Structure 1
Amino acid sequence: MPDPAATSAPAANATQSEGMTRLQKLAALLVMMGPDNAAAILRQFPPREVEAITREMVRFTLITREQQEAILRELTPVILTAATAVTAGVETARATLEKALGSFKASDILGRIAPSRPVPAAMQDLTEMDPRNVANLIRDEHPQTIAFVISHLPPEKAAQVVNLLRPEQRDQVIERLAMLAPTPVEVTEKVAEVINAKLGVKQTRALTQTGGVTTAADILNAMDKEVSRSLLASLEERNPDLCMAIRKKMFTFEDLRRLDNQAIQRILREIEMRDLVLALKKASEPLKQLILSNISRRAAETVREEMAFLGHVKLRDIEAAQFRIIDVVRKLEAEGEIDLDVENTPEDVVV
């Protein structure tokens, strides 16, 4: 597990990034992004600046998690600007951030600094309406139209609206939502016209497509667990590949039980002991057994002792630790280090 006291060379005396210059922060950011993404970004700078940035990059030995988070929060707009010039803008920025910090923190950062999409007045009205009214407004539309509209709502509100649809509609809407692709302007304008007509507002700019597997996963995560399970089971019968893609995006801490011992051991090498102790505080017994069976007996005893000493802990602190571990899992999966498709079996568990 990483040493939380480790520091980077240019910022040896800084606990986060306060002691670093702007140039050093940019160099650290490029180190975190990896060679391919860093090269793409560096091409946007003049040769003299590339040389100065590279000189700082080679000085780094280790960048702590605290430094990574501080630097990414400060310099993410740089990623967005450069990534837009390179290829796919926000999606490239998202991929870069997910590799560095995991998808949960990437979504949080991008949600606050990414350029806002042009949203028609009709859609703004829907986000402020009671979920029951939204459901009544769109329930008679085509499932594709419903999916398109729901993709523009915050996940929590979208989940409430989906819950209010007829069961047969839910299945179709979730599947279409996960498969949403960039939509022609003519189609988006037609959808806006339908909603505008029902709400009695004037036509505005076309909607920007926002759906896809991630959106579907976010909405399912926000829904009642039983309803979510039922929808996924139904989708799995019709489209198992799509269902698996959504499940991977919905990965939870308890889903670690699905992984084999090799993957568990790889994850354990990347996480902090404090996070592991906190996360296991509310874990199921089978998951605790799986985790503790993949570390040494001495380390397992230390974890058990630390858990006992914790006493009462705020649920949000436990969930935050679990999210940090999930971020590590998703990062390792994105790098090809582990496979989330592997299904663990009782025979795989070391006891």
Structure 2
Amino acid sequence: MSEEKKNVHLTKLQKAAILISALPEDISVQIFKKLKDFEVERIVKTILMLETPSKESVLEVLKEAYDNLKEASPVKIAPDHLKKILQKALPPEVLEKLLNQTFDEEEFKTIFKELEKLDPKMVANLIKNEHPQVIALILSQLKPSVAAEILQYIPKRVGVTNVQEEVIKRIASIEKINAQTLKIVANTLEEELLTIGAGAEETLSGIDIAAEIVNALPKEVQVELLEEVRKEDEILADNIEERMFKFEDILKLDNKAIIEILKNVDKNVLMMALKGAPQEILDKFLSNMSKRAAEMFLEDMEVLGPVKKSDVEKAQKKIIEEIKNLINKGVIEFGSGEEYV
């Protein structure tokens, strides 16, 4: 794909970020001074998330802004360069707030994205001797699928401790992590993880993260791990299991699974559940019915009229229970617990 074609996919915000980064520092400072706080924040976030563009890409962006421009220097988007410009452009209190809420947060995310690119076995070897709480903090920052892969390479037992069980329990218990804590944790990793700035708290749903990680594990590992957690804390195990399938997750099921659900759930309960569901979920069920059945289903839904939110939620819970029952029986598959022979 040519550079010109690549630039077609750049948003206006991305082009603005490249343009500001490519300009001489003193001009960039003047531009930032003219922008509103929320505009500065958006530009900064975009610059930090951009991959370093080639000189050709920069030239194309600049040509859009200046028809008579003949040359451009490569873009400079390093965090230190950006901080230098912002220090000149913004009052100290505004800069501090921006760095705490935006800059460090984006840099922090970038570092863990880099960690996700490493071989899971290598990451597991790197962190396997850490305390389960430290392992939990690291895995909670990664994609569930990546965290699940890494978790499988962590030794199952160290002495009497089931490390995998402990890690999942601790992830599920996470409520908030201070960025300074993550900086300390990152210092135990490789050199590229040493620079994480302290800043605002990151609100996390530990139970949801734990559930997604368990979902990404092979089926037999899921069952065994949850059994181990249940021995120690039945409520925690139930909470994790509850979140292992949400009503919106129906969109992840294949057509065969949807057909099985239609066979096994009460039509009236399904109608009530779908009353408050996104259109995509309704369409998924309708597309697995005959044309006539789908028409009748929609007509019956219309006859229902307005319904209470509490009744919709109750119906959705019943559908989820039936889906989980079908998953446990092996009638339908969910997650990555597939077996190969």
Which TM-score tier does this pair reach, normalised by the shorter chain?
Answer: 0.3 to 0.5
The structure having more radius of gyration, on CA atoms, is 2
